[in-house]
């Protein structure tokens, strides 16, 4: 009985294939960003370097997550070692928390893409 409970609980916490695809799309979008500095633990990194680092973190944590939002909030926004929040600096020098930046990137560049079969536009925004 205990094994079944642990198995069911573990299974319920893994990213679904749809959420895994959504998270992968977010990381791909991050890697495409131009003139962006992703700062973690005091060191600046390019967007492709940030993508690579977050993919590594995703690989280690995806079985404990259910949504892309959980990945952003619990894994992709801060150091698992120091707890320090990651920051993003754009080409104009504007600094934003990685949490806010990644949520915005998900909302504006992943979920609103017309070819995204899992997160279509609401009916009132759909093309007619």
Does residue 10 lie within any of the structural domains? no
Residue 82 lies in a domain: yes
Tell me whether residue 76 is in a domain: yes
pTM score, whole prediction:
0.79
Place of tokens 């926004």: 77
Q: Is 61 helix (H, G, I), strand (E, B) or coil?
A: helix
Enter the tokens of residue 125: 């925004």
Q: Give the structural domain span for 87.
A: 20-110
Q: Is 76 exposed, middle or buried (0-12, 13-18, 19+ CB in 10 A)?
A: buried
Residue 128 within a domain:
no
Which pLDDT tens digit goes with each residue over 43-71?
A: 999 999 999 999 999 999 999 999 999 99
Please state the domain count of the chain. 1
With respect to residue 15, please indicate whether it lies within any of the assigned structural domains: no
Give the DSSP letter string of 42-82: TEEE-HHHHHHHHHHHHHHHGGG-SSHHHHIIIIITB-TTT
pLDDT, averaged across the chain: 85
**How does pLDDT run across 14-33, given as a tens digit for each residue?**
889 999 999 999 999 999 99
């Amino acid at each position: 009985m205990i094994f079944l409970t642990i198995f069911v609980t573990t299974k319920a916490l893994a990213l679904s294939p749809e959420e895994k695809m959504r998270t992968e799309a977010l990381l791909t979008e991050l890697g495409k960003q131009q003139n962006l500095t992703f700062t973690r633990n005091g060191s600046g990194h390019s967007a492709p370097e940030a993508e690579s680092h977050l993919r590594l973190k995703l690989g280690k944590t995806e079985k404990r997550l259910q949504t892309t939002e959980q990945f952003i909030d619990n894994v992709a926004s801060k150091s698992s070692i120091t707890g320090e929040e990651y920051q993003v600096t754009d080409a104009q020098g504007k600094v934003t928390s990685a949490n806010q930046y990644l949520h915005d990137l998900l909302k504006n560049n992943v979920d609103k893409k017309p070819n995204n079969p899992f997160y279509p536009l609401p009916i009132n925004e759909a093309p007619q």
